[in-house]
Structure 1
Amino acid sequence: MSAAERTEQAAVRTVLGDVPGEALGICDAHDHLFLQSRLLPGQELADVAAADAELRAFRRLGGSAVVQWTPYGLGRAADELAGLSRATGVHLVAATGLHQAQHYAPGTVEAVLEGLAELFVDELTRGIGGTGPRAGLIKVAGGFHGLDAHARSTMAAAAHAHHRTGAPIAVHLELGTGALDVLELLCGEHEVAPRSVILGHLNRSPDPVVHRQAARAGAFLAFDGPSRANHATDWRLPEVLAALVDAGYAGQLLLGGDTTTAAARSANGGPGMPYLLRRLRPRLELALEAEVVSHMLTTNPARALAAAWRAS
């Protein structure tokens, strides 16, 4: 097979290299092993041993892949990811991208905005920080029921990097809102194929009309961060997913844990990554067929994360 033919084949870009989507197995489609934000002082995810323990706990329940949505400048610990993946046997996908400006120290965002698209492309094709693994997706963020100038500029850079590399774009929706604005910008103005967009946190705004509109457009819908009662997560999620399955969108639904604080880790008494399989999966299987839930954890993330990667 020629190099050109290999390039055209879709694959998931993990920290250990590109793999076929079906190799992922059971996937936590949105989580964090490492994360440091000025909005979460004292709750940093920065302990390598704790990350290793969390992955092993997830692995013991059958989990075999985790997508870390931590973007540029928020303590990704990219140089640790390959070692953790080898040691635990869990596939890891790293992110490039940029979060909302409020998460960064003053001056951090301004220092990279002018060359943001090139930064994303470099991290997707050459490696994070020049020495780390290659990122496998671009993470950006919207605002509450809208898109500010920062969101528009970062999404424009993400779209540019997507067109040059093929990378999927994962979007933090603030409290689950703004999905249609994001799709208008990325897929309308910037011509990103909807199947290359993952909309995150939709469980935080359980609006069935918006969910169906986003699904009808062709995007992947991520329902992540279970166990957070203040975000209308667990108790509404079965009916929300059942409605989308009944409407014919079962193939576009993803599930994730979104662990963002040290207190939330399972070793510290929190739900952590294991909660997705230990509590959420059996709960969903009471409302949906087990096979449908299985597809949300395996087949769907394999499709959402796969790209026909280009050098740039």
Structure 2
Amino acid sequence: MSFIRTFHGDIDPDKLGFTYSHEHIVCRPPYWVEQQADDLLLDDKEKSKLDVLDFKNLGGQAIVDATAIDYGRDVQAVKKIAEETGVTLIGTAGFNKSFLWNAAIPDHLKNVTGDYSTYYKWINDKSINELTEFVVREIEEGLECTNIPGGQVKFGTGYNRITPLEEKTLRAVARAHHETKAPMHSHTEAGTMALEQIEILKSEGINLEYMSFGHMDRNPDPFYHEKVAKTGAFLSFDGISKIKYAPESTRIHCILELVNKGYEDQILVSGDTARKSYYKHYDYGLGLENILGKWVPRFIEEADQNGFDGKKLVDKFFVQNPKRCFTFKK
């Protein structure tokens, strides 16, 4: 039996449709709250909803909300956005990266994590198996003790390093995958450490075809991308619209390099739109409409100029590949 697990239960993978594979919809990351970094707080459900509607009005059908517990997700608000817009939303169990764990755990999560002061202490004190049980509950029972199930499991590592606690959560998430068959996603800081993550995942017996590695376009290295792709994993080019990191020509070049090498079935595309200044209805940014409205036409034109079928590739990246990537296979 194959299905995709959404905020409203399980659906047939064929019903997923045009999908952004890595976004953040409503969240107040505790670390950034403490730093008073307002730009990183997506804290207005109605403004987020307007951007989701822009996406829908251009033909978008589904969004993966990659916000884990340590990044301040608001599962009830996101569920309401799904209900009010008709856009399919997929939630995320698991963890992000270690520097976020110095933040205090909000009071409303003490019933989930126990009476711990910080994420660091909670993760440090718990065994791998106890963390695994937590992630399994979020997939099978619901995120944060709600009845809203997670649709993927996530772990993360920092820039050019994997700390002991990051390895601990990686192993916990891998074991939760074995128990639930949930799709797996990785945060790679600036696109680094994917190959090192792969070695740990292999030691846990993970079939890499269940994995998607995030932020691959933050490390625009075609040789590196091919090494990851050879494992069978998905590569998420989820920094679209962020010109401060690289021009779109660089991202498109890396994507077409992978296509040329035969890996078109392993590419995902999204925006990781996690700042007010990226959102149209918070702070006049390009918004969730930009990829569908402007990047996709530009990609099709550039792909066609290089001898590829741009429309076919767009269908792969936003429809066919997400349908396979986010499917539970039991």
Q: TM-score range by the shorter chain?
A: over 0.9
Q: What corresponds to 1:293 in structure 2?
A: 314
Q: Write out aligned runs for 1:231-270 (5 A).
A: 231-267=245-281, 268-270=283-285
Per-residue deviation, 1:75: 2.0
Specify which of 105, 110, 117 is matched with residue 121 of structure 2.
110
Match of 2:203 among 189, 193, 215: 189
Alignment partners' CA distance in 2, 1:108 and 1:210: 32
In structure 2, distance between residues paired with 1:71 and 1:57: 24
Q: Does 1:42 align with 2:38?
A: yes
How does the TM-score come out when normalised to structure 2?
0.87
Q: 1:221 aligns with which of 235, 253, 265?
A: 235
Does residue 306 of the first structure (1) align with residue 327 of the second (2)?
yes
Shift of 1:35: 2.5
Structure 1 residue 308: Cα displacement: 2.1
- Report the CA distance between 1:199 and its aligned residue: 0.3
- 1:175 is aligned to 2:190: yes
Matches of 2:197 and 2:287 in 1, distance apart? 29
Q: Secondary structure at the match of 1:96?
A: strand
2:198 counterpart SS class: helix
- CA positional deviation for 1:112: 4.2
- 196 and 85 in structure 1: CA distance in 2 versus 1, 3 angstrom threshold: same
Distance 2:172 2:10 in 1: 23
SS at match of 1:94: strand
1:140 and 1:158 in contact (8 A); partners too: yes
Hey, what's the Cα distance between the residues in 2 that align with 1:112 and 1:178? 21
Aligned AA for 1:65?
A: A
More displaced stretch, 279-288 vs 215-224: 279-288
Kindly indicate whether the alpha-carbon contact (under 8 Å) linking 2:98 and 2:163 is maintained by their aligned counterparts in 1: no
Q: Which runs of 5+ in 1 are unaligned?
A: 1-8
Query: Contact 1:205–1:232 (CA<8 Å) still a contact in 2?
Result: no
Q: Distance in 1 between matches of 2:190 and 2:292?
A: 23
CA contact (8 A) 1:171 1:200 kept: yes
The 10-residue stretch of structure 1 (38-47 or 152-161) with the greater mean CA deviation from structure 2: 38-47
Structure 1 counterpart of 2:111: none
Q: Does the 8 Å CA contact 1:179/1:210 hold for their aligned counterparts?
A: no
Give the 3-state SS of the residue equivalent to 1:136 in structure 2.
strand
The Cα offsets for residues 151-208 of structure 1, whole Å up to 9 and x where unpaired, read as: 201100000100000011111111011111111111x111111111110000011111
TM-score by length of 1: 0.92
Unaligned runs of 5+ in 2: 105-117, 304-309
Aligned length: 300
Q: Find the counterpart in structure 2 of residue 134 from structure 1.
A: 149
Change (3 A) 1:233 1:116: farther
| Worse overlay, 144-153 or 253-262 | 144-153
Q: Secondary structure at the match of 2:244?
A: helix
Match of 2:10 in 1: 18
The question of whether the paired residues in 1 share the 8 Å contact of 2:70 and 2:100 is answered with no
Which of 75, 79, 84 matches 2:81? 84
Task: Measure, in 2, the Cα distance between the counterparts of 1:110 and 1:169.
Answer: 24
The higher relative CO (CA closer than 8 Å, separation ≥ 6) is in: 1
- Would the aligned equivalents of 1:204 and 1:233 in 2 still touch at CA under 8 Å? no
1:25-104 counterparts in 2 under 5 A?
Answer: 25-37=17-29, 38-39=31-32, 41-43=37-39, 44-104=41-101
Q: What is the alpha-carbon distance in structure 1 between the residues aligned to residue 317 and residue 3 of structure 2?
A: 18
1:203 match: 217
